Each structure stands twice: as C-alpha cells, then as structure tokens.
Amino acid sequence: QVQLQESGPGLVKPSETLSLTCAVSGYSISSGYYWGWIRQPPEKGLEWIGSIYHSGTTYYNPSLKSRVTISVDTSKNQFSLKLSSVTAADTAVYYCARRPQTSSSWDYWGQGTLVTVSS
C-alpha cells in the first residue's frame, strides 16, 4: 500500500523559508510517477504548487515559480518542498501526492500538514 507522510515545522515566520518533506512508503520513487505538492488555505480550495519526476525534472505553478523549489532524494525515498519569502497568504494545509505519468489525476495523498505563517 502506497503511503505518503508530510513532515516539517508547523509555524514559520514571515519572510522566512517554509520547508517540508514527504516520505514515501510502499513504492519506490525511482520507479516512476510524478510527485507533487498541493496546498489548501483554511476554508478555501486546492492549489497546485508543483511536481517533480523521479529523474528530477520539475514543473511549478507559474504564480509561485519564483519562490518554489522541489527536490527529490531517491536514496531516502522522499521529496521536499521549499517556499521562500512566505507571508500570511501562504498559511495552508500542505499535501504531498502522487500522479501517474500518463494521467493528470492524483491517486495517493498524504494526510496533510498545517503550516501557519506568523511572527
């Protein structure tokens, strides 16, 4: 059974960098698929942040591209998100998820982690 688990600080100060990691179990990242980050501000809808292929090729939401870095560590079977210069608008539940290579759907999701941006 494929499982994804987000981890990282739940509180980040304004202007600092948000860093999260998604640990994958039950499937080897090196075997394929796209791995991505999606966030959901409180009481709002879903917003795609970006995706990475196991080879390291990345795709970012144009609206966040200047602040986002997604990387993959196949030796640890995990991938990570860094979002710089955060503001209160970046407060959200952050989900990591898996997308089949030939599909635009996200078939496995982590439980999500709430990140609050506040001083």
CB atoms inside a 10 Å sphere around CB 76:
12
Q: Which is nearer to other proteins, 16 or 47 (CB)?
A: 47
Rounded to 5°, angle at Cα 93 from 5 and 118: 120
Say whether residue 114 binds other proteins (CB under 8 A): no
Residues 26-45 that bind other proteins (CB under 8 A): 36, 38, 45
* DSSP annotation string for 50-106: EEEETTS-EEE-TTTGGGEEEEEETTTTEEEEEE-S--GGG-EEEEEEEE-TT-S--
Q: Which is nearer to other proteins, 42 or 75 (CB)?
A: 42
DSSP 28: -
Q: How far is the CB of 108 from other proteins (least distance, A)?
A: 8
Residues 45-64 that bind other proteins (CB under 8 A): 45-48, 51, 59, 61-63
Binding string, 61-100, against other proteins, x = CB under 8 A? xxx-------------------------------x-----
Say whether residue 107 binds other proteins (CB under 8 A): yes
Residues 6+ apart with CB under 8 A from 33: 27, 53, 54, 98, 99, 100, 101
Residues lying near other proteins in the complex (CB under 8 A): 36, 38, 45-48, 51, 59, 61-63, 95, 103-107, 109-112
